[in-house]
Structure 1
Amino acid sequence: MGEKEGGLFYNLESLLQQDFRGVNIAVYALATAGLALSIHKIRPVSKFSKATKVPDHFIQQHAPLKGVYVGVQHSPVRLLINHKAPIYLPFWHSSKPPLPVKLWGVDIVSGNAVNWLDCVAKGKQVTLKPIGRDKDDLVSTVLLHLPQTKTKTVETLDLGQKLVELGFAKASVPQGIKKKSIESQLAPKILSAENRARSYRNGIWSDNLPPIPMYVTYWRKGSQLATELIILSSKKLLQLLAFLSKSALVGGKKLLLLPFNKSPKRIQAT
């Protein structure tokens, strides 16, 4: 009876060990598959030099891509962005060319845009939000990050909107934009920037539109001066109120330090 029980326990133990091995193998297989799927989705070591290399889900989800602005490609004008992969591999990534980017909803029409970009954006960090492809060019927005040394903050500019506002580019917003999409959020801002450029005759609009009437110029200058005076007066008023409140607080503390049964006049008399 004892030998039978011992054999039974031995067989049961062997069966459990085999089951555990099977479970471990299954767990490792699932973990490996999950890791491979995550790597395929994130692409941590992929540096993109062509739009065709950017995965579809990056474009569909508008996944942000980090990089550095390095220059401009001519005819047609495209921004050249040195894409930075999350994991940098020097010998592999350094040999790849920059990624040509077409600004969504914007056509660069002035040579001054190239000069302005070289002065302001060259060598600076940018963030791309992919929207589509145009052959080997990535259609995207480009957000420029400018560090501010005085305030120790970072100013972010949408290069497409800024170029349109300066009059170095024109709005080229496509028709039939879907509602509640990234395009529907960008289109009004680009059109508003162009309206402002036309209103102030910035860039190309100084030659394509009649001069601004003198009364409009005087009105704008007067409004700007009045706004600056109001802001300056508000700052002075706030400083005065802060000084008065501080003085009142200090005076109140002095009164609290006086003896309870004596008034300030009696103390001065003695």
Structure 2
Amino acid sequence: MSAADSGYLQSLNNLLQQDYRGVNIAVYALATAGLAVSLHKIRPVSKFSKASQVPNHFIKQHEPLRGRYAGIQHSPMRVLVDHRAPIYLPLWHSSKPPLPVKLWGVDIVSGNAVNWLECVARDQKVTLKPIARDKDSLVSTVQLHLQKSKTKEVETLDIGQKLVELGFAKASVPQSIGKDSIESKLAPAILSAEKHAKKYRNGVWSEKLPPIPVYTVYWRNGLQLIGDLVILTAKNSIKFVGFITSATFNGVKNLVLRPLRPSPKQIQAS
């Protein structure tokens, strides 16, 4: 190696070992900026109590928001949700009011909806999927998560669809809905729920529509009875087949394992 090459390598080594504060500051600044952008996007400590506080990208991407059912707001009728941020700060978050939510595609028309929600949903966990804003209210779906008492299974209900199915609310689906959008997936379920409510005269439809003919009631009750009998018969048949199979298996098992008895000629010979 020549003296020139040796001097070049030595200079490069000295260059790499130097502490460039400017470079370090730039790296730290970029890392801090990236962290700030991530925190702004995720909002891990933000509790939303107004629709205006929900970021635009949350609504465009239908980012799930979790919380608990807190009650009903009257005039206009809104579902109140105690939004829970990913990082819960009790002293700060507990002082903020709940978020008013307007159920997408649904208009609550019966006071029984309030009674049902207070009975079923009080303090239960919910999940929102934001769709739009309506002044201070967030237009969204509300998924209710019910913990079954005897098991650890969780039953999930869409509050808007359930209220329509019970006849406590009416469908108010917009006429123009974009294809392959979240609204296009929600609308058929809501309309189907209202069709079911009308068919069985649930809730407000018991007064707005003529009563169901008697023969229709008998026909439906008969179909329900036949269905129950079929299910009961199937269960009993399964139990009977299981009993016969178990008895047959035990009988064959005992026959195979039973020791062979000697014949009378074998006994005389011995």
How far apart are residue 258 of structure 1 and its match?
Answer: 4.6
List alignment gaps of at least 5 residues for structure 1: none
Q: Distance in 2 between matches of 1:130 and 1:39?
A: 19
Matched to 2:121, the amino acid is A
- Name the counterpart of 2:95: 95
- Name the counterpart of 2:190: 190
Matched, 1:230 2:221: no
Q: Distance in 2 between matches of 1:135 and 1:205?
A: 30
Q: Distance in 2 between matches of 1:107 and 1:33?
A: 44
Q: Distance in 1 between matches of 2:116 and 2:183?
A: 25
- Name the counterpart of 2:54: 54
How far apart are residue 28 of structure 1 and its match?
Answer: 4.0
Q: Distance in 1 between matches of 2:263 and 2:29?
A: 91
**Residues 243 and 21 of structure 1, relative CA distance in 2, 3 Å threshold:** farther
Aligned length: 266
**Residues 3 and 103 of structure 1, relative CA distance in 2, 3 Å threshold:** same
Instruction: Map Cα deviations across residues 101-155 of structure 1 (whole Å, 9 max, x no partner).
Output: 0000000011111111111111111111111111110000001111111232111
Instruction: Map Cα deviations across residues 215-247 of structure 1 (whole Å, 9 max, x no partner).
Output: 011111111111111111111111111222222
**Residues 5 and 217 of structure 1, relative CA distance in 2, 3 Å threshold:** closer
1:117-136 equivalences in 2 (<5 Å)? 117-136=117-136
User: Quick check: 65-74 or 239-248, which moved more?
Assistant: 239-248
Matched, 1:204 2:204: yes
**Residues 29 and 215 of structure 1, relative CA distance in 2, 3 Å threshold:** same
Matched to 1:59, the amino acid is I
Identity of aligned residues (%): 66
TM-score, length of structure 1 as denominator length? 0.89
Q: Distance in 1 between matches of 2:231 and 2:86?
A: 45
Q: Distance in 2 between matches of 1:160 and 1:169?
A: 8
Q: Distance in 2 between matches of 1:238 and 1:21?
A: 79
How far apart are residue 25 of structure 1 and its match?
Answer: 5.2
**Residues 28 and 248 of structure 1, relative CA distance in 2, 3 Å threshold:** farther
Q: Distance in 2 between matches of 1:170 and 1:136?
A: 22
How far apart are residue 181 of structure 1 and its match?
Answer: 1.3
